[in-house]
Chains A and B, each alone.
Chain A
Amino acid sequence: MFDYWNPHIERMPPEDLSKLQEERLKSMVHYVYDHSPFYKERFKEAGVKPGDIKMLSDLSKLPFTYKVDLRNTYPTGMFSLPRNRVVRYHVSSGTTGKPTVVGYTKDDIEMWSDSLARALTSIGLGAGDVIQVGYGYGLFTGGLGLHYGAEKIGATVLPTGTGNTERQIMLMQDLGSTAIACTPSYFLHIAEVAEKMGVSIQDDTSLKVGVFGAEPWSDETRRRIEEATGIKAYDIFGTSEMSGPLFTECQEQNGIHVWSDMFLIEVIDPETGEQLPDGETGELVITTLNKWAIPLIRYRIGDLTVINSEPCPCGRTHPRLMRILGRTDDMIVIRGINVFPSQVESVLMTIPEVGDHYQIIVDRKGPLDIMKVMVEVTETGFSDKIADLMSLSKRISKELKGVLNVVADVELVEPGTIPRSEGKAVRVIDKRKV
């Protein structure tokens, strides 16, 4: 009843997986020391030699790598191999400062698509499926990453990329897409446009699965997508530094499986850098185990998450990321209180009168930070009494305060007025930074 891409690895007993990780970690440490002047220097500064790493628990002796290291060595200072071994570049958008360049050997591309082949198989996709890739193609890793993974499992790829939404819907119908991969906010937009075109995703298309990621989203949004369109919505995770999108939930929809033979993951206290046990929320740190152009040792991704190493009912033994709260970069600090847009979303999406799109505007009034949340009023429960509308915005504000402990002004706006995005949605406008 369960399909696996690589049953031997995916169901490997945890102790065997640990052994495999230990061997790969030891050789990876030697590899970076010998190939990367950056790591040789970094190891020296930390007073650690490759030979000091004898078992998995020695991992904490190794120094961290930070996003800023990739920026400081722009463009290719972190590469461990010369260009004649590199078959592809991807470049991250670099909204803050310089972009980061990542490179891949042939084997790196193979590892990446292998990871996605396992993931896509775990959500029931395979040959015979039509996978519409609605992520951006080009420098962004989303489009090409999913493309290679989908081809690997023998599915038919429909490489629509982003945009031209009406044509996306037409092709979805005409070519019988059974799955779509894009940002969750773009899928909400697609569903909205389909409705306007008189197309019901549930009744008029063959779509049954969505693979949504590249921006944090909540279980409440998942519920809305599934109820409105009848598809199963799965979370996908990965960053360009790790390769691109790599891992998804399985059909249990209970945590994202991270393949232990490829990546070693830890969760740390972001303040002290101490490792945290399973079940505690902390910053995700990854070490690549078989990636050669840019291997990374204890790379601090910045996502806050919780690890669960219990085997999953699906039969896979690899650890799961239970909840990704968002990047520490996405966090906004309002009057000294940390707020994640995903927390705001999880509150809003439980209120039926509120539409699927929202925007958070942060500004400063004198010495005070102010947060305004803009939401669209849907026809569901729209009352023509002013008092009801006023109490709706009060109710939203009260529920936000309950979860965030921050007072937010709620502004009710007309449907369609919050900008729709085809890629990553702009959820926060922080005017304090302008």
Chain B
Amino acid sequence: MVAIKQISLFVENKPGRMAKVSKTLSDAGVNIRALTVAEAGDFGVIRMVVDDPEKGYQVLHDNGFTVSETEVLAVEMKDIPGGLYEIVNTLGESNVNVDYAYAFVTTKAERALLIIRVDNLEKAREVLTSAGVKLATKDEIQKI
């Protein structure tokens, strides 16, 4: 399976909350690859891709955070104009909805990685692969 595990956290929208999350991960030696914060008034959701999702989930859970794991796709996209279009257009034409997405660029590659949560993971994987788009695996994320 090419889906990777994303960690999501429920956090109150208050000073110091992000600090507590990142301190917990840092103490456990878990490295964050990509992160996004969605806010909705009094609270927000932090979503992130880390090098060791099992460990990341465990330490956050043990420290009393409300945390869940979500399956997402890490899609490689060309770091050029039109790179994103190619991917989301492929998904859109196949009627796959993107619930949310965030991207990051790795230091080594000329490629960027787009993390997406979709409503139909299997179909997304299928249409992207047949369009020649590469999906990063868990191991590849770990090695970045």
A interface residue numbers (CB < 8 A to B): 196, 377-379, 382-386, 389-390, 411-417
Contact = CB atoms under 8 A, between A and B. Distances in A.
A412 B45 contact: no
If over half of B's interface residues share one DSSP class (helix, strand or loop), that class is named, otherwise mixed; here it is strand
Interface string B88-129: 000000000001100000000000000001000000000000
A411 B14 CA distance: 13
Nearest to B68: A382
B49 to A, nearest CB: 13
B12 A417 contact: yes
Nearest to B7: A384
Contacts of B61: 379
B12 A382 contact: no
Interface string B16-46: 0100000000000000000000101011110
Nearest to A416: B64
Nearest to B20: A414
A412 B64 contact: no
Interface in B66-82: 66-68, 70
B8 A384 contact: yes
B40 A382 contact: no
A196 to B, nearest CB: 8
If over half of A's interface residues share one DSSP class (helix, strand or loop), that class is named, otherwise mixed; here it is loop
Nearest to A192: B64
Interface residues of B, number: 23
B70 A384 contact: yes
Contacts of B65: 414-415
Interface of B: 6, 8, 10-12, 17, 38, 40, 42-45, 47, 61, 64-68, 70, 99-100, 117
Nearest to B99: A385
Nearest to A410: B42
Given A382-B8, A389-B43, A389-B45, 4 more contacts: A196-B64, A379-B67, A384-B68, A386-B44
B10 A412 contact: yes
Contact of B10 (A196, A390, A411, A414): A414
14 contacts: A379-B68, A384-B47, A384-B68, A386-B38, A386-B44, A389-B40, A412-B42, A413-B12, A413-B43, A414-B17, A414-B65, A414-B66, A415-B65, A415-B66
A389 B17 CA distance: 18
Nearest to A388: B45
Contacts of A414: 10-12, 17, 64-66
A412 B47 contact: no
A413 B65 CA distance: 11
B99 A382 contact: no
A416 B61 CA distance: 12
Contacts of A378: 66
B88 to A, nearest CB: 19
A416 B17 CA distance: 13
A377 B44 CA distance: 12
Contact of A386 (B40, B67, B68): B40
Contacts of A417: 12
A385 B42 CA distance: 15
A34 to B, nearest CB: 61
Report, nearest first, the 5 A-B pairs whose CB atoms are least far apart: A384-B8, A386-B40, A416-B64, A377-B10, A377-B66
B73 to A, nearest CB: 15
By CB atoms of chain A within 10 A, which of B10, B12, B38, B117 has the most?
B10
Nearest to A378: B66
A385 B117 CA distance: 10
